[in-house]
Every structure is written in structure tokens, then in C-alpha cells.
């Protein structure tokens, strides 16, 4: 048994409340269970109970064993001084608050329906990554699809919080935020952090000043990436270096160290220099932010991201080293990654004030094929259909924030399985 089961039992009041007494023999009546606290501190806040005719208002702390109070060091934490009820399954030790007081204790052993406890143990008491995996086929489509829809919104609302953090650093300019989102998306997993660092190294005022000038913007990006610190034999990188030296001195810029970029196991088409060149061409489009904002349809958004690089890159993957002639275009899979990780979060953010943009964002996700990764594979093996990127993004949220931390009874699917006979 895990504590989340007792949280669920308390929140839903799924225990026998007849002849309810504290361990000291005082009659107890529950008036309000309180608010479930997912942050630090007691498990339920602002509860209301009546003990021997006296009404108490305060917090409830829940443990499997009363001795867990000491295991979690609550006796040294003033945040637990206002606990009016210690709810436990087993009462194996008398405990005290930081003030030295003994909180009222209610023992739930023998008060929980054995069928409910057995059901919990059957479904959730195992060592699988997805505890309910063997029961997932029994979850009906309506519950499954409704849960995924909520999780998609939850995932991108979390990304909206990241955008808000970026806005605080850029005087509330969404154009820089779009630049940042595009940069990290183009970095994929391998160079995501380096691309974030690159974007953060370029102040918003410089982005606005130089993005329309392809040559200067290229010099700024490659220079800040640390790719223009060496001597070159070719004319193009040499001229970029000269321009960057001017910009660097004028704006007191500090480039990244080149070692932050990773090349190992990368296909040449995904080398950092190619991705930076693609970022430059995308962002240098006239009124790019406005165009992206109003594109809304999958094909239109994709066309704005389908850029062609300068001829120099037809024969290069890095500066100063010739390669076989090949056009460097973004593939469909990469375009979809950019839309999922840059455009959809942007639309969700705009949707805070213009609700229809949340619909546009969801429609984009539904146009994109479901991602193929280890998380999605787990749910497919468990017998569930994954139709689009809207579903696969929801499953990433489900797996990382509910399945792995074992928060089964805060999950709609877990709650439904507990109700099913």
C-alpha cells in the first residue's frame, strides 16, 4: 500500500464512518476533508472536523504508519504544528509536533472495505513502469480519449509557464520567445541545451536589429555559437568572422565555448552549423512572427518552415570543409518536431487571451502522426490506440507525471479502474 491510496480514501471518504473514534476514544465527525496539497507541507489543508463536540479547523497529515511522522522529520518542522488530525493505517508509535504536542490520530485499519483494498492491490501493487498496464484494455474509449485530451492541454499549459518565464526576461516580446522555441526545437535532443544557450546569448534588441539582414544575422548567430573563433581558408566564413568581430566589439558580446556543441552520432544534416543556418533563414523572413501567428493550418505553417539555405551550404556541413553537393532541407519528421515544440506552445500561449488559438494548436497536433518513442510503445503494447501527436504528447505527460511517480489515484484512468467492478 502507498500513501496515495490513503489520500484517495480520505478525499473520497471511502471508509466506514460509523462509530468513528480517535485512538484516545474521542468521537470524531468529519465536516470537510480540506484541500489536497500537492506542494510541501501537510497533505490536506483547511480541513474541518468535530472531536467530542468541539469543531477544529486546520490541516490533515496522512501516513501508512504513524512512525512515518518521524521518518519524514515532521517533528522538527513548524509547518506541521497546525495538524489537527493524523490519519494513519497503522498506529505503531506516539508522535509529537515541533511544539511538543500530540496530534489527534485516526486509525483506518479495519475501516476500509476489503474489496476496495484488494482492488487497489490487484491493479497498482506491482513493479511495472505502468502499474495498470494489464488493465488498460478494459478502459473504454470515452474515458481514454477524454483523459488524453486533458493531458494534452495540461502538457502545453506547462509549456506556457516556460514561455511566461521567457517573456519576463525579454520585456514581454513574443517574437524573441518564438526565436527561442525554434532554436531549441532545431537542436533536437542532442543540441537542445546548446541552442537554448545560443538564443539566450542574443538580446532581443539585437534580434530585432539584425534579423532582416541575412549576412549580419548569420555572423551574429555563428559568432555567438563560437564557430567564428578560428582562422579560415574560405571567403564566406572569413567575411562572417570579420563582421562578427565588429558586432562583438560594438555590443560587447561573449560567444559560447565551442565544446557545448555535440556531433557524436548525429547525421551530418543535423550538424549544429546546418541547424543554425536554418534558424537564420527561418527568422529572417519578413514579418515571420505575424505570418506564423496567422498561418494556423498545418500545411501553411509547414511551408513557412520549409526554407532553403544559401548555396554555400549545398557543399558544406561545417565551415571550411567541402562535401558532396546536397541541398540541406528540413525533413517532414523534423518539421513536425518544430511544430510540436515551438508553434503549438506559442499558439497555446496566445490562446490564453484568444481561446480559438488553443483549438488551432490542438488541430495542428491532430494533423501530425503520433511520435514513435519508447513511451508511446509501452502504451501500444498495453493495447491502446495512439492516433496522432495530440495523443503521443498526452502519453508523455501521463507517463512522466503520473505513471513514473506512481500518482495513479490522481489520474482519471486510475480513478476509473478503482470504480470498475
Domain-terminating residue out of 350, 367, 384:
367
Query: In this structure, is residue 278 part of a structural domain?
Result: yes
| Terminal C-alpha separation, the chain | 20
Residues 17, 106, single domain; the answer is yes
Residues 196, 262, single domain; the answer is yes
Residues 202, 351, single domain; the answer is yes
Residues 179, 305, single domain; the answer is yes
Total domain count, the chain: 2
Distance in angstroms (rounded) separating the CA atoms of residues 148 and 398: 8
Sequence-distant (6+) residues with CB within 8 A of 181 are: 163, 341, 342, 343, 345, 346
- Which pLDDT score, from 0 to 100, does residue 120 have? 86
Single pTM value for the model: 0.83
Query: In this structure, is residue 124 part of a structural domain?
Result: no
Q: What is the pLDDT along the chain (421 residues), one digit of tens a residue?
A: 788 899 999 999 999 998 899 999 999 999 999 999 988 899 999 999 999 999 999 999 999 999 999 999 999 999 999 999 999 999 999 999 999 999 999 999 989 988 888 888 888 877 788 989 888 998 888 999 999 999 999 999 999 988 887 676 666 688 888 999 999 999 999 999 999 999 999 988 999 999 999 999 999 999 999 999 999 999 999 999 999 999 999 999 999 999 999 998 899 999 999 999 999 999 999 999 999 999 999 999 999 999 999 999 999 999 999 999 999 999 999 999 999 999 999 999 999 899 999 999 999 999 999 999 999 999 999 889 899 999 999 999 999 999 998 888 889 898 888 876 5
Residues 261, 347, single domain; the answer is yes
Angle 288-295/298-305 helices, nearest 10 degrees?
160
- What is the span of the domain harbouring residue 239? 169-367
Query: In this structure, is residue 381 part of a structural domain?
Result: no
- Which pLDDT score, from 0 to 100, does residue 421 have? 54
Query: In this structure, is residue 153 part of a structural domain?
Result: no
**Helical segments of 187-331, H only:** 188-200, 204-210, 214-224, 235-251, 272-283, 288-295, 298-305
- Which pLDDT score, from 0 to 100, does residue 50 have? 95
Residues 98, 193, single domain; the answer is no
- Which pLDDT score, from 0 to 100, does residue 417 have? 87
Domain-terminating residue out of 74, 96, 112:
112
Query: In this structure, is residue 411 part of a structural domain?
Result: no
Residues 262, 346, single domain; the answer is yes
Sequence-distant (6+) residues with CB within 8 A of 158 are: 397
Residues 226, 353, single domain; the answer is yes
Query: In this structure, is residue 274 part of a structural domain?
Result: yes
Query: In this structure, is residue 134 part of a structural domain?
Result: no
Residues 273, 351, single domain; the answer is yes
Residues 352, 218, single domain; the answer is yes
- Which pLDDT score, from 0 to 100, does residue 261 have? 96
Query: In this structure, is residue 181 part of a structural domain?
Result: yes
Domain-terminating residue out of 97, 112, 127:
112
Residues 238, 361, single domain; the answer is yes
Q: State whether residue 70 is helix, strand or coil.
A: helix
Residues 67, 185, single domain; the answer is no
Amino acid at each position: 500500500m502507498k500513501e496515495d491510496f490513503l489520500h484517495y480514501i480520505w478525499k473520497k471518504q471511502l471508509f466506514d464512518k460509523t462509530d468513528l473514534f480517535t485512538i484516545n476514544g474521542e468521537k470524531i465527525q468529519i465536516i470537510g476533508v480540506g484541500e489536497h496539497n500537492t506542494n510541501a507541507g501537510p497533505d490536506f489543508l483547511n480541513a474541518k472536523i468535530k472531536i467530542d463536540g468541539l469543531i477544529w479547523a486546520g490541516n490533515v497529515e496522512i501516513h501508512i504508519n504513524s512512525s512515518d511522522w518521524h521518518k519524514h522529520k515532521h517533528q522538527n518542522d513548524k509547518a506541521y504544528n497546525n495538524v489537527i488530525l493524523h490519519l494513519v493505517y497503522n498506529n505503531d508509535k506516539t508522535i509529537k509536533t515541533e511544539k511538543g504536542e500530540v496530534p489527534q490520530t485516526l486509525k483506518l485499519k479495519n475501516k476500509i472495505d476489503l474489496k476496495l483494498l484488494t482492488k487497489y492491490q490487484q491493479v497498482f501493487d506491482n513493479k511495472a513502469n505502468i502499474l495498470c498496464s494489464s488493465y488498460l484494455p478494459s478502459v473504454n474509449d470515452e474515458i481514454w480519449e477524454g483523459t488524453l485530451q486533458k493531458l494534452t492541454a495540461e502538457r502545453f499549459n506547462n509549456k506556457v509557464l516556460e514561455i511566461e518565464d521567457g517573456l519576463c526576461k525579454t520585456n514581454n516580446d513574443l517574437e524573441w520567445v518564438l526565436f527561442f522555441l525554434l532554436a531549441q526545437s532545431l537542436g533536437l535532443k542532442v543540441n537542445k541545451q546548446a541552442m537554448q544557450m545560443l538564443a539566450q546569448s542574443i538580446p532581443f534588441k539585437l534580434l530585432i536589429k539584425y534579423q532582416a539582414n541575412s549576412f549580419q544575422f548569420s555572423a551574429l548567430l555563428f559568432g555567438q555559437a563560437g564557430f567564428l573563433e578560428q582562422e579560415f581558408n574560405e571567403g564566406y566564413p572569413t567575411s562572417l568572422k570579420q563582421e562578427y568581430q565588429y558586432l562583438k566589439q560594438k555590443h560587447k558580446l561573449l560567444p559560447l565555448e565551442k565544446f557545448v556543441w555535440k556531433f557524436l552520432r548525429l547525421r551530418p544534416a543535423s550538424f549544429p552549423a546546418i541547424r543554425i543556418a536554418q534558424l537564420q533563414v527561418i527568422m529572417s523572413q519578413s514579418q515571420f512572427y505575424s505570418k506564423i501567428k496567422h498561418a494556423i493550418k498545418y500545411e501553411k505553417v509547414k511551408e513557412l518552415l520549409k526554407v532553403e539555405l544559401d548555396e554555400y551550404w549545398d557543399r558544406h556541413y561545417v565551415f571550411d570543409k567541402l562535401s558532396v553537393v546536397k541541398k540541406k532541407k528540413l525533413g517532414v519528421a523534423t518539421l513536425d518536431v518544430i511544430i510540436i515544440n515551438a508553434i503549438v506552445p506559442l499558439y497555446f500561449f496566445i490562446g490564453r487571451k484568444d481561446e480559438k488559438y488553443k483549438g488551432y494548436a490542438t488541430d495542428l497536433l491532430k494533423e501530425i502522426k503520433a511520435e514513435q518513442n519508447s513511451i508511446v510503445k509501452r502504451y501500444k503494447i498495453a493495447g491502446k490506440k495512439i492516433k496522432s501527436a495530440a495523443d503521443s504528447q498526452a502519453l508523455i505527460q501521463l507517463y512522466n507525471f503520473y505513471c513514473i511517480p506512481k500518482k495513479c489515484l490522481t489520474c482519471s484512468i486510475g480513478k476509473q479502474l478503482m470504480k470498475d467492478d
